[in-house]
Structure 1
């Protein structure tokens, strides 16, 4: 190599310089670990739904999301069927605090009346295994207000409460944000719920009105975060609801992991 450099003609040196310049972007991109990992799709309405995990250029989790094809909002079941759709996390990529996702389609909404009694989706990002959620039992929906279900203060974000009427079998108890717009006499569009069972955090739940999704939004909002979490790991600081015209899909995402 020393001989080549010593004897290289000017034209040869120029060619080598061009090769080196062309190679440098490739070397820079080789260190970029950003990627998108997709879970196995499931049938949803007349379309499909799947999970996604996106990483930043350092390979750290940047977003965990649910993606619905445009056709997923049509052909949804009637209220009396109240289906739940289980979505598995991607088989490849980094492990996250989210174990699995369940989408509950609420064709007629649910209590409280005049707030969440419109057609909407409950997007449950569970931090516990599916077998554990299936064992969740309550004698009454009022048990969410019982002392035995109230988590330590450090696990509950500021402004959130666990009122009676939010204990749901095979889910948990639902903590609501009393500062959310829908509790300030504004229409419900999208909101963020935290879920618990036996004083432990078990899920994070964006709830989104069907009409809001159909409006093809570009919505993002910060999340109130608790002082600590039951499960060690990185957690989101914001969530978003958006429509992507290029792929004709809707995305409900947890973002800003810290």
Structure 2
């Protein structure tokens, strides 16, 4: 079919529309990064980074530390054995179900003695608010309720939640007794679940300072419970790595999956 110059040309119009649609689709599905405000840690900084996938859904949530963050960290003192750095989630981007992240520096480690008693970081990803976390306590009349055992469906197979693993302003800690650190190997890293009043309130990669200083690149599977207490995006794996070009360590919850 012939057309006059300047008039509608069906073939050209269809091709142009298709090109425009594909271009818009590419832009819509381009993975993106969303960063929380950096917080001073040691001589460097730490921040939260949320990455999306090609479907614009959360794919990973990471704590990123500059290499200087491992220098100038405080030593243990008689009046203080741990330091807490609250890291905000990004102001924009997809909602993950995680409210905030707390990076805890333990220069002398913590119990159990001989297991986690080495310098290390606890990286708590909380699904409760900062106010709710601040109210977590195992003292007073509500102690029995606070220490209530979680529903077995909230605890991954093989994990245990010992009563002496209750920590103020954190929660009860679900541990993996199959970890090498419980069988004579030096502690390097593990994955912990946290509970309060029987509900799952945080997930926690824990990493020794020595392991980070080895400039690692490791991805480990996460043993998942049958269900979670709150809807959100929960990890199937966690990664600990070092990017030499950027001079940054990454501790990431990866392969996030939506649970309602």
Task: State whether TM-score is above 0.5.
Answer: yes
**Where does residue 62 of structure 1 map in the other structure?**
59
Q: Is the 8 A contact 1:155 1:226 kept in 2?
A: yes
Q: Which runs of 5+ in 2 are unaligned?
A: 10-15
User: Where does residue 12 of structure 2 map in the other structure?
Assistant: none
Work out whether residues 149 and 173 of structure 1, in 8 Å CA contact, stay in contact via their aligned partners in 2: no
| 1:235/1:21 CA distance change after superposition, 3 Å | closer
Contact 1:151–1:199 (8 Å) recurs in 2: yes
Aligned to 1:15: none
CA separation in 2, counterparts of 1:100 and 1:58?
24
Structure 1 residue 185 displacement after superposition: 2.1
Residue 25 of structure 1: how far off its partner (Å): 7.4
Aligned length: 249
Cα offset for 1:235?
Answer: 1.1
After the TM superposition, which residues 129-168 of structure 1 pair with which residues of structure 2 at under 5 Å, given as runs?
Answer: 129-139=129-139, 148-168=147-167
Aligned Cα root-mean-square deviation (Å): 2.8
Q: Secondary structure of the equivalent of 2:164?
A: coil
Q: Deviations over 1:171-202 (max 9, x none)?
A: 00101011112123221101000000000000
Deviations 1:206-231 (A, max 9, x none): 00000000011001100000000000
**Pair 1:113-2:110 in alignment:** no
Whether the aligned pair in 2 keeps the contact of 1:242 and 1:250 (CA below 8 Å) is yes
Cα distance in 2, alignment partners of residues 199 and 57 from structure 1: 36
Partner-residue secondary structure (3-state), 1:72: helix
Secondary structure of 1:149's aligned partner? coil
Provide closer, same or farther for how the CA distance between residues 20 and 179 of structure 1 changes in structure 2, counting only shifts above 3 A: same
Structure 2 length-normalised TM: 0.87
User: Unpaired segments of 5 or more residues in structure 1?
Assistant: 9-18
Q: Is 1:73 matched up with 2:74?
A: no
Structure 1 window deviating more from structure 2 (246-255 vs 179-188): it is 179-188
Post-superposition Cα deviations, 1:111-160, rounded to whole Å, max 9, x if no partner, equal 111110000000000010000010011139xx79x994210010000011
- Say which SS state the counterpart of residue 231 (structure 1) adopts: coil
For 1:218, the equivalent position in structure 2 comes to 217
TM-score by length of 1: 0.88
In structure 2, how many angstroms separate the alpha carbons of the residues matched to 1:148 and 1:251? 32
